[in-house]
Amino acid sequence: MDEEETPPLMQRILDNPFILLFLGVAAPAVLYLIWGIMEIISVPVAN
């Protein structure tokens, strides 16, 4: 029966708002905030 079948993985991810919330906060936190802060703190001091 189709009704008993588990949806594919991708649909289950899209159906879970909390997985999405985690991804939506983690991705920009790592790619934008953390990467950016690391670049700023590694700026050398002028002579």
Partner 1 sequence: MSTLSPPKSRIWWKEPIERSELIWISLVFVWGLFMAFMMPYWHVTGDQNLSNETYKTTPERFLEKTQAMVDEYTVRNEGPRNFPVVKPPPGGDVYMVSRLWEFWPIIELEEGQSYRFHLTSMDWQHGWSLQPANINIQVVPKYEHVFTLTPNSAGEYSVICNEYCGVGHHLMIGKIHVVESGK
Partner 2 sequence: MSEQFRTCPDTGLKFHKPAENLMKANAVAAVVFLLVGGIYGLLVGLTRWPAVHLLPADAFYLTLTAHGINVLIFWMIFFEIAVLYFASSVLLGCRLAVPKVAWAGFALMLIGALMNNYIVATGTSSVMMTSYAPMEAHPLFYLSLILFAVGALLGCMVFFATLVVAKQEKTYEGSVSLVTFGAITAAIIAVFTIVSGAIILVPTLLWSLGFIAEIDALAYRLIWWAFGHSSQQINVAAHISIWYAIAAICFGAKPMSEKVSRMAFLMYILFLQLASAHHLLVDPGVSSEFKMFNTSYAMYLAVMASMVHGLTVPGSIESAQRAKGFNSGLFEWLRRAPWGNPTFSGMFISLIGFGFLGGISGVVMGAEQINILMHNTVYVPGHFHATVVIGSTLAFMALTYWLVPILFRRELVFKKVAAWQPYIFGLGMSGVALFLMGAGTLGVPRRHWDITFSLTGGVVHEFPAAANTMLALNGLSVILAVLGGALFCVIIVLSILFGRKLGDEKQEPALIATPPDDAAYEGIGRGSISVPGTFVMAMVFFVAFALYYFINWKYLAETWGIS
1, 9, 43, 45: residue in contact with partner 2 (rule CB under 8 A): 43
Q: What is the distance between the alpha carbons of residues 22 and 2, in angstroms, rounded to a whole number?
A: 30
Here the tokens at position 28 are 């920009």
Contact by Cβ (8 Å): 6, 12 = yes
Here the tokens at position 25 are 């906060």
- Scanning residues 2 to 31, which ones bind partner 2 (CB under 8 A)? 11, 14-15, 17-18, 20-21, 23-25, 27-29, 31
Using CB under 8 A, list all residues that contact partner 2.
Answer: 11, 14-15, 17-18, 20-21, 23-25, 27-29, 31-33, 35-37, 39-40, 43
